[in-house]
Structure 1
Amino acid sequence: MQAHIRLATPEDAESISNVVISALRQSNANDYPPEVIAQVERSFSVQAVQLLMEQRRVYVASVDQCVVATASLDGGVVRSVFVEPRCQGEGIGKQLMSVICSAALNRDLDVLLVPSSITAEGFYAALGFQKVRDELHGAERTIIMRKLLLK
């Protein structure tokens, strides 16, 4: 499925919040307990997304002018990659990550890190990211992964 990818605007905050919460509840809930999902959800309220948009380069992917995925670049760290569950497996996440990698290269970065959920570890591995270590934040396990960018 081909998506249109662009920088997010403040008007996208609600759609981004909805995509993230939907993915958390339907996909990540298979790998994390309900209290972790609820905690992460609070980090992606509309207001929280608006604040993140001031700190990071946030991208959205849309299909038929509807936001179906998001990802952001925070320095050399990829953050908040989420795809609407009904669109997962359609290549949209891969398209977003291609844009993120290009943006990183344009900033003369040669390494990208991503704090991956258990759910997304295979996705990032398929894109060439390698596991560096696990981190625990309470009951939330995050896998730190890295990828060398080729110029």
Structure 2
Amino acid sequence: MSTNEISLRPAQETDALVLSAIHIAAIKALPTTLYTQKELLAWRNYQDKPDASKILKRMKVETLWIAIEGDIIMGFASFIVDELIALYVHPKYQGKGIGRALVQHFCDEATRQGIDKVITTASLYAEGFYLRLGFTAIQKAPHYLRGGVVVPVTKMSKTL
């Protein structure tokens, strides 16, 4: 699969259950090398089964875009103006340029709005990915998850 086969489109309410499943699957696939099992469980909101309601709430305040091939949703990104809030690719499709395409789309949208710098909060697993895309680490910071769980993350930015 090349990025030429990946299509991007705005997420629709009917996509919400699949997006929740991708979020859960992506976090479940992470090893416990940088975060504990308890932290990973909190990160996926203590869910083992998809819950469309959380994604539907996000759709009211965030812009969500999905990556598809044919009718298969492979990943998604959510953002608000200049901040990339979330980026998840199903483990089955990782390493194929999907995350890169979603981040590029986010940056292109920001540029179209006259924004010259974007930010994101990267998990320790994703820090290298963002560095390869031209982001710069600003600082390590705590990130507060449900249940009072706090994990280290990296605040990052990119000049467009």
- Normalising by structure 2, we get a TM-score of 0.87
Q: CA deviation at 1:28?
A: 6.0
Q: CA deviation at 1:31?
A: 2.4
Aligned twin of 1:31: 34
Find the aligned partners of 2:83 and 2:31 in 1 and give their Cα distance: 20
Q: Secondary structure at the match of 2:95?
A: coil
Q: 2:108 pairs with 99, 102, 107, which one? A: 102
Find the aligned partners of 1:65 and 1:29 in 2 and give their Cα distance: 32
Q: 2:55 pairs with 49, 55, 61, which one? A: 49
Find the aligned partners of 1:79 and 1:130 in 2 and give their Cα distance: 16
- Normalising by structure 1, we get a TM-score of 0.92
Q: Which moved more, 1:57-66 or 1:31-40?
A: 31-40
CA contact (8 A) 1:28 1:119 kept: no
CA contact (8 A) 1:3 1:62 kept: yes
Aligned twin of 2:76: 70
Find the aligned partners of 2:20 and 2:33 in 1 and give their Cα distance: 20
Q: 2:156 pairs with 124, 128, 145, which one? A: 145
| Residue 103 of structure 2 corresponds to residue 131 of structure 1 | no
- Quote the sequence identity (%): 25
Higher Cα radius of gyration: 2
Aligned length: 149
Aligned twin of 2:117: 111
Gaps of 5+ in 1: none
CA contact (8 A) 1:79 1:115 kept: yes
Amino acid across the alignment from 1:90 = K
